[in-house]
A and B are shown apart, each in its own frame.
Chain A
Amino acid sequence: AQSVTQPDIHITVSEGASLELRCNYSYGATPYLFWYVQSPGQGLQLLLKYFSGDTLVQGIKGFEAEFKRSQSSFNLRKPSVHWSDAAEYFCAVARGGIKAAGNKLTFGGGTRVLVKP
């Protein structure tokens, strides 16, 4: 069965510093991978997704993620964080290579990011 692990429950970073959030997945075939952000009390917003091709994916809000098959990882990065980046971030995996409708997402437990002034 597919699974997603986000090893860091909380991360505190200073404003202007770089940020990296870790995500490891377990899935036998080619995974389709996603990163979401959730502000308190809000729904999820898609930051970026990886299906195939270039392993470095650019997303919204200055985020990027790199797919590393050999490490089963899809880490999210941002070179310089802003106070508005304080939120919870979720990594997710969907089964690849099958009919898309009905394709389900499996989520990691999330990483809460705190930004210090």
Chain B
Amino acid sequence: DGGITQSPKYLFRKEGQNVTLSCEQNLNHDAMYWYRQDPGQGLRLIYYSQIVNDFQKGDIAEGYSVSREKKESFPLTVTSAQKNPTAFYLCASSAGLTDLGLFGAGTRLSVL
């Protein structure tokens, strides 16, 4: 079945540590997105990529980095520069406007 897979489901980060969240899709979608969700604030866009080897900053990119070496993969690294990383992270993908709205199940990141 086609879909978007995020892993791990839960992740813990120590102070000063970088952690990487995985997002894989087998839908052959060109565009992929990372959102951060905090209580009461809805979702905010971190990074997005329209095509392999290209990505753009979203609204809250500071402290995060991404890569897009393969069409099906868009990993997100939460760096030590992100001082408040505790949140629910959601990945999405789309082939076109009518495909907007497909999300993974999310990764919950907490700080130890």
A residues with CB within 8 A of B:
4, 9, 32, 34, 36, 41-46, 49, 51, 90, 92, 94, 96, 100-110
Contacts and interface: CB of A to CB of B under 8 A. Distances in A.
A91 B7 CA distance: 26
A31 to B, nearest CB: 12
Interface string B94-110: 11111111111110100
B42 A103 contact: no
B82 interface: no
A103 B43 CA distance: 15
B42 A109 contact: yes
A9 B103 contact: no
Contact of A34 (B51, B58, B100): B100
B40 interface: yes
A49 B40 contact: no
Interface residues of B, number: 33
A42 B97 CA distance: 23
A13 B95 CA distance: 37
A4 B41 CA distance: 11
B42 A100 contact: no
B30 interface: yes
A46 B102 contact: yes
A101 B90 CA distance: 18
Contacts of A43: 6, 90, 103-106
B61 to A, nearest CB: 13
A99 to B, nearest CB: 8
A109 B40 contact: yes
B51 A90 contact: no
14 contacts: A4-B42, A9-B40, A41-B106, A43-B104, A44-B103, A46-B101, A51-B98, A100-B95, A100-B100, A101-B31, A102-B48, A103-B94, A103-B100, A107-B44
A51 B99 CA distance: 12
B96 A101 contact: yes
Contacts of B40: 9, 109-110
Contacts of A101: 30-31, 50-51, 94-96
Nearest to B6: A43
